[in-house]
Amino acid sequence: MKKENLKNKTSQDEDIGSKNDRLLVLHNDDHHSFDYVIEALMNICDHEPEQAVQCTLLTHYKGKCDIKKGSFNYLSPMKKALVDKELKATID
């Protein structure tokens, strides 16, 4: 396959895959400490410490933050785990 054709195919595949992507959104609740939320994001969503801190700050100041992207089946267990920790999370 020519390099140009391969590039076009990759682009088309990415477009198709993105139609099924959902966002796991963390919403601010004003009840939990920063450390609690940061630890949850690192343990449940496999965030690096810096990423967890940034998401926590965005959630605090903006009211919500997209914390993970993927299929509904991929995000659903993470959402459940966050909700089990009494954090407010949705899949959009």
List, for residues 23-56, the tens digit of each pLDDT value: 999 999 989 999 999 999 999 999 999 999 999 9
All residues at 6 or more sequence positions from 65 whose CB lies less than 8 Å from its CB, including other chains: 25, 26, 55, 56, 58, 59
58: which DSSP letter? H
Q: Is 13 within the bounds of a domain?
A: no
**Would the pLDDT of 83 be above 80?**
yes
Q: Is 49 within the bounds of a domain?
A: yes
In whole numbers, what is the pLDDT of the chain averaged over residues?
A: 86
Q: Is 85 within the bounds of a domain?
A: yes
Query: 26: which strand partners?
Result: 65, 89
Of residues 85, 87, 67, the one with CA closest to residue 22:
67
pTM of the model: 0.78
- What's residue 20's pLDDT? 76
- Can you give the residue range of the structural domain that contains 46? 20-91
- Counting the structural domains of the chain, the total is 1
Of residues 76, 86, 88, 14, the one with CA closest to residue 45:
76
What is the share, in percent, of the chain residues with pLDDT greater than 70? 79
Q: Is 59 within the bounds of a domain?
A: yes
- What's residue 14's pLDDT? 44
**Would the pLDDT of 80 be above 90?**
yes
Q: Is 50 within the bounds of a domain?
A: yes
Q: Is 34 within the bounds of a domain?
A: yes
List, for residues 13-24, the tens digit of each pLDDT value: 444 455 679 999
Q: Is 4 within the bounds of a domain?
A: no
Q: Is 12 within the bounds of a domain?
A: no
Q: Which CATH number do you get for residue 40? A: 3.30.1390.10
